[in-house]
Amino acid sequence: MDNSTTGLGHVMRVEVDAKAWRLFPDLRELAAYRDLFITLSYRDIRVRYAQTALGFAWAFFQPLATLLVLSLIFGRAMDVDTQGIPYPLFAVTGISAWSYFSFVLKESGGSIIGSQEIVRKIYFPRLIIPLSKATVGLVDLVVALLVMIAMFFIYGLTPQKGIVLTVLFLLGIMVAAVGVGIWVSALTIKFRDLQHAIPFLIQFGLFITPVAYPARSVTSSIPPWGTVLYYMNPMAGMIEGYRWSILGIGGVHGLAWLSFGMAIIFFVTGLIYFRKVERYLADLV
């Protein structure tokens, strides 16, 4: 038997049985440690915003800086076809989705290693750590959405009727982000160099995902097998559908379902692999 705290002073008695093993994490156990989950999320938000010179303003600076760079490169230098939509508004729809995905991927990479002291000392479902990072990323997502709403007012435009489907695509984006984030958090436990490669992967992913350009500009010039590979990127179909639901342009490619399928595969297999690694995680960190 082992006594553990949930993060707010409550003491729980948890029986750890090395022989007991489940394919997926125990949802009831995760729910029992919700106080710790809330505490870790709140701590990360304070560290991210409360202890900086500009504070919460940093959350606005990142999407605006990215928007400026993409507008100069793709909007002016490359003159991307946005079907009559002002390029800044076209780009900010992709940025709002990609900012969340990239944040979760970046923060999940070193999440377990960064919490190694608490991992070694007490028992709790380790999955709480990467999940708390994904929750913190919602702050950046909300800020990016506020920037996007402001852009609609600036250009005097209104969202399209498909806006009701935006929630569906946002949920898909979150599933993809959390799934990849769980995989990365588990893999970096055994392969420490991976956390140093994450910034490159994020930068590379930005250019192979239709964030700054319409997906058709790529798929129209590559063979069918290349299009299949393109949509195996879970964020490709998600962002394409997300942009279509808001702006009503581009449509949704027939292979977008592949992106949805890959998001679910990453999420489910991520949970399974994390559960497998969790059994001996304290020994690895």
- Report how far residue 94's alpha carbon sits from residue 206's, in angstroms, rounded to the nearest whole number: 10
* Confidence label for 73 from pLDDT (cuts 50, 70 and 90): confident
Query: What token pair was written down for 91?
Result: 């780009």
Q: pLDDT of 25-61, one tens digit each?
A: 777 888 888 888 888 888 888 777 666 656 667 677 7
DSSP characters for 64-101? HHHHHHHIIIIIIIS----TTS-HHHHHHHHHHHHHHH
- Report how far residue 264's alpha carbon sits from residue 31's, in angstroms, rounded to the nearest whole number: 22
Report yes or no: 49 and 55 within 8 Å, Cβ to Cβ.
Answer: yes
Report yes or no: 159 and 152 within 8 Å, Cβ to Cβ.
Answer: yes
Q: pLDDT of 180-191, one tens digit each?
A: 999 998 888 888
Statement: residue 20 has pLDDT above 70: no
- Report how far residue 267's alpha carbon sits from residue 116's, in angstroms, rounded to the nearest whole number: 24
Q: pLDDT of 89-122, one tens digit each?
A: 999 999 989 989 998 998 888 888 877 778 777 8
Statement: residue 230 has pLDDT above 70: yes
| Listed range (82-86, 128-132, 280-284) with the worst mean pLDDT | 280-284
Bridge partners for 5 per DSSP: 11
* Exposed / middle / buried, residue 45 (Cβ in 10 Å: 0-12, 13-18, 19+): middle
Element (H, E) at 3: strand 2-5
Q: pLDDT of 195-212, one tens digit each?
A: 788 888 888 998 899 998
Residue ranges of the domains in the chain? 2-284
Element (H, E) at 13: strand 11-14
Give the pLDDT confidence score for residue 101 in this predicted structure.
Answer: 93
| Listed range (16-30, 69-83, 128-142) with the worst mean pLDDT | 16-30
Give the pLDDT confidence score for residue 52 in this predicted structure.
Answer: 60
Q: Give mean pLDDT, residues 246-257.
A: 84
Indicate the SS3 state at residue 4. Answer: strand
Residue bearing tokens 């230098």? 77
- Report how far residue 162's alpha carbon sits from residue 274's, in angstroms, rounded to the nearest whole number: 36
Give the pLDDT confidence score for residue 164 in this predicted structure.
Answer: 84
Indicate the SS3 state at residue 188. Answer: helix
- Report how far residue 206's alpha carbon sits from residue 61's, in angstroms, rounded to the nearest whole number: 18
Indicate the SS3 state at residue 5. Answer: strand
Name the packing angle between helices 224-231 and 234-247 (round to 10°): 80
14 vs 229, higher pLDDT: 229
Model confidence pTM above 0.85: no
Query: What token pair was written down for 188?
Result: 């970096």
Alpha helices per DSSP H over 110-232 = 111-114, 116-121, 128-155, 166-190, 194-207, 216-219, 224-231
* Confidence label for 12 from pLDDT (cuts 50, 70 and 90): very low
